[in-house]
Amino acid sequence: MSLPEYTKAQLALRNGQDKPEIWCAYQGLIYDVTVSKLWRNGKHYEHWAGQDLTEEMNTAPHTEHVFDKFKAIGKLI
């Protein structure tokens, strides 16, 4: 199954403020984190939704396996 592609501008709208969806990208995939209580209002500690979090994972207290809990819904182009 191929995933739909989204631009950075489209991802930015899914920040928990502009649209009801809360999305984050990591290593080229976009994840829907809307159901997570940790992402309420589009913010998770010092991280904001609607962005590519690949580089920010280096400073996170958890591994990239945190994204295993969420469904990949698209590809970042």
Supply the CATH number for residue 66's domain.
3.10.120.10
What domain count does the chain have?
Answer: 1
Q: Give the span between the Cα atoms of 17 and 41, in whole angstroms.
A: 7
Question: What percent of the chain shows pLDDT beyond 70?
Answer: 95
- Domain membership of residue 54 as a residue range: 5-76
pLDDT (average), residues 29-56: 88
Lateral strand order in the sheet of 29-32: 5-6, 72-76, 29-32, 23-26
pLDDT (average), residues 14-30: 93
Helix (H) or strand (E) holding 29: strand 29-32
